[in-house]
Amino acid sequence: MIVKLLRRVLRRGEPSAPTAAPGKPAVIPLARHGIHREMVSTGARRTCETLQQAGFKAYVVGGAVRDLIAGIVPKDYDIATDATPEQVRSLFRRSRIIGRRFQIVHVMQGGETLEVSTFRAVHDAGTAKDAHGRVLRDNVFGSMAEDSARRDFTVNALYYDPGSQTVIDYHHGVADLQQKTLRMIGEPRARYREDPVRMLRAVRLAAKLGLVLDPAVRAPIRELAVLIENVPVARLFDEMLKLLFSGHAVECVKRLREDGLHHGLLPLLDVILEQPLGEKFVMLALASTDARVRAGKSVSPGYLFATLLWHEVLGNWEARKARGELPIPALHEAMDEVLDIQAEKLAITRRIAGDIKDIWVLQPRFEKRSGKLPFRLLEQPRFRAAFDFLVLRAESGELDHELATWWQVFQTADEDTCAAMLRPESGVKKRRRRSRTKPSSTQGDDTTPASSID
């Protein structure tokens, strides 16, 4: 009891901690927010019902509520409750507690996985932080009002009750969403120091929802951008994937550059964006990814990161060849160097790095259009991704369109057309038959065409 009392007293004196809105929250009816319970996934409804029937509070919270009000179909659902992780775990057979900094429960409902988190208290003087102010541990449970106050933006602090079909709004988030404004809960500088990733999240949400950053939210970003260097690389990589696969990557990158956040995220990306050819290449790749995401098609992290870093590899490769290094070994050295620099900022997984290299290393092989080499290239598992990459290079002006067109026809042509398209092999001479006085036997009957000789 004494510890809790001291924590509350210290919390009142902490100026950087966000506080809940005074008075009671707004309870917004269905007629104003427009979310019918049928619009919420079955798993989310069942999870809330189970918790409520056990005597706990439970709401769909955050991004799912925000997206439903904005007319966007949510990708996943989070649930907030006053039940502890252990209590949640006891109510659902298919569930598990995960997390260190934030303990949450993954509840499996059919093929759906719900993240269920307990209401958390606002940060106070006792919250563990690093030297830069970034929160390291945060497992102090609190009230619903405190939980809403510790969330980042007002549009994310919305709670939806599927039973009553009402939205609980402590910070005027529904009004901000309708007015197309992204506002921070609490003092922006302090909130960015607690979690620098919020700067990236602000850019992503603004681009996704067509929001304008509140001046108080935008002003500190350029000054505090250096704090992103203090974020664990694995978490930064996850946030970058969300940004690049948001379906609004082109707009996100433009806003990153406007706010000075592109420096250091993808090392040397700012240099690429200052080069006309490099910028065109990157923007074409991002636009293609946005189109696939919006159409519900699959996207590949390996392919996208291969495009973002290609011009760094290309420049490194050309420099090595100019120094007299052999082309293929020079390409491998250039790939490794660029990815090693990248690994210092983003935790690209080994599998994704392998996909990136596969796409890059196949590019020189498209130049070989004679003998068996084109057929062997068609058999490569990553041929399609590498070919799409080749087309992108041609569209950006890096290559002649003739090469991409040739491969477009070759991969779908019949056998006779393919044979006619192959170029003569340079440096390979046909074998001459030895003159014989008489055809005494069939041994040595050389009928192998020159084009099949390697």
Residues carrying an active site annotation: 76, 78, 152
- Phi and psi dihedrals of 231, rounded to 5? -85, 135
CA distances from 238 to 124, 241, 242, 285 (A): 27, 5, 6, 19
Report CA torsion sign: 252, 253, 254, 259. positive
Measured on CA atoms in the order 205, 211, 217, 218, is the torsion positive or negative?
A: positive
First-residue to last-residue Cα distance in the chain: 83
Name residue 213's beta-bridge partners.
182
Dihedral angle over CA of 383, 388, 394, 400, nearest 10: 30
| β-sheet with 158-161: strand ranges across | 26-28, 166-169, 158-161, 58-61, 78-81, 112-118, 104-109, 95-98
The residue assigned the tokens 């992290």 is 301
Tokens of 102: 């934030």
Burial class (CB in 10 A: 0-12, 13-18, 19+), 444: exposed
